[in-house]
Amino acid sequence: MAQTVRQQEIVELLRARRSATITDLAEHFQVSDETIRRDLKALAEAGMVDKFHGGVRLNVAEWEAPFDRRLREQAPAKRRIAHAAAELIEEDATILLDNSSTSCFLAQVLAPRPGRLTAITFSMEVAQILSSSGRNHRVILPGGELRADDRTIIGPSAIDFASQFTPSLFVMSVAAASASRGLMDFDLFETEFKRAMIPLADKVMLLLDGSKYAKPGLIQVCDWPAVDILVSDAPPPAAFREALEHARLVLAPPLTEAGEGNGRRPAYAE
């Protein structure tokens, strides 16, 4: 049975929160408790969630390796975005990379390049890609608690450590983007981390695949004026044009069949 859009959004929310009450879900989606119960019944029959009295949790198999799942989702678009974003980063730049799957694709493009990139990141995945490249890149990691499901270093001490740096560029992605509400995510730590890092960088580069436009989110990260450069595989819908008037828009060209840059320069729109 095909999932409705709301059912898909319930699963995405549970991936971030692990569990939720029926009342919370009904308030979040602005529908009745009975409507949510029907959605949860369908998801439970599909084996995606486990119901308990008054609420629901994600089936263990659904969140066993969420980061691996994120790496697969929209992978061709994320590779395109990564190659286009790399064109904008100087070889010896000092950059701050978030823990998104798109930043992992960007790290794969940056890793073999000459020069000495300095990268500050909360992501062990990003750090491993850059540090194992055989190049002389400098990778800086904060201390804190290691979150196992996506190998992200979390906690107040991690944010405090990173707050002492002044990178030329903060590269980030988000779970959702709204023309009126700005950039949104589902995870509280990632939201706090991004909010804290945005003012530190000279410029903020947003990596956003086309599936994120007009997708609902849970927590606002920032408004659009915080974004200096948007790199995407698809033009923003018309509703976003006013919000992005101030930003530099970079449209990523298609890749070769081998998944590499095809030599075409990204398309720029001022």
Contact between 152 and 124 (Cβ < 8 Å): yes
User: Residue 9: its pLDDT value, please?
Assistant: 86
Instruction: Give the domains, in start order, of the chain with CATH numbers.
Output: 5-62 (1.10.10.10), 69-269 (3.40.50.1360)
Count of C-beta atoms within a 10 Å radius of residue 232: 22
Flag the least confident range among 19-28, 42-51, 231-240: 42-51
Tell me the β-bridge partners of 182.
178
Q: Please write the tens of the pLDDT for every residue from 37-63.
A: 999 998 888 777 889 889 998 876 554
Record the pTM.
0.73
Q: CA angle, 126 as apex, 75 and 119 as ends, to 5°?
A: 125
Q: Please write the tens of the pLDDT for every residue from 166-216.
A: 999 999 999 999 999 999 998 889 999 999 999 999 999 999 999 899 787
Q: CA angle, 238 as apex, 246 and 218 as ends, to 5°?
A: 80
User: Residue 89: its pLDDT value, please?
Assistant: 97
What rounded mean pLDDT belongs to the chain? 88
Q: CA angle, 148 as apex, 144 and 150 as ends, to 5°?
A: 95
